[in-house]
Amino acid sequence: MDDFITSVRQALGDIFKAAADLLTVGHEIAATPSTDPLPETVRQLLRTVSNSMRSVLILVEHGCGTDALKIARTMFETAVNIHYLHSHPEAIQDYVDFQWIKKKKHHDYLLKFAPAQAQRMDDASLSELTAEYARVSPRFTGPKSKVRSTWHKSDHRQVARSVGGEIIYGGVYPFISSLLHMDILGLIMSGGPSGEVEVVPSISNLELGIQIAVLSYAMALTASNEILKANGEDKIQSAFENFRNSCAVSQTLDIWNELAKPKESESD
């Protein structure tokens, strides 16, 4: 295993270095708490992406590229949420308050399938849940009195489009969703060069996993840096330039160029 890790580090060393540099910037950006809901929420979101970036590096160097891809998808989803909140700061309250929709749904599920567990909730917590759900649910209820399943009104593709990330959405979601749900495409993607699903450590999906992760992390850092006014743009750009120079897949560079374009308006 030590020989495998050494080989991966040698082959992807420049990308690992770029990721490490971005992690340093991420630590600096997310270091200081805020009393303002938007920057504090984004700061915490960025920390989750930083943790995921570290997890991807560990998985890749240990030959677990397919599982790294699964984490990279969540990194992209979080990056999109950060960019969306940057473009729509008024949506922060919906993002925060949606917790009560999720908690109420979970409690209702327990009442139906595990009533003994549901009854463990103390009266004060149940009263808070009931009151908060009543307060926020009208904002998430559609014309047919159905409470929506997301904190924003748009679907995921529309949100990705609104922040300039639709090209990644189209490239990431179809096949990584297949990995998560393990349909036939996911099974095919899990295979190595011979088509056989290899026992790890394997070289399958190592480069793609770390590339999507770094791209998503840089995307999250860019918006977080602006929201938190951290003045880290030069360091982000420098680290990402190192990634660009090490990147073997031209499509990844095309994706970043697409993100750099002016954002479409919501009406487009």
Return d(Cα 3, Cα 25) in angstroms, integer.
30
Residue 22's nearest CA partner among 219, 206, 208, 205 is: 219
Counting residues of the chain whose pLDDT is more than 70, the rounded percentage is 85
Say if residue 88 is exposed, middle or buried (CB neighbours under 10 Å; 0-12, 13-18, 19+).
Answer: middle
The pLDDT score that the predictor gives to residue 156 is 67
Q: What is the pLDDT of residue 157?
A: 66
Question: Is the separation of the CB atoms in 86 and 39 below 8 Å?
Answer: no
When pLDDT is averaged across residues 94-122 and rounded to a whole number, the result is 97
Whether pLDDT at 256 is above 50: no
Q: Is the pTM of this model over 0.85?
A: yes
pLDDT in tens, 166-206: 666 666 667 788 888 899 988 988 887 788 898 999 988 89
Identify the pLDDT of residue 158: 66
Residue 231 tokens read as 């003045």
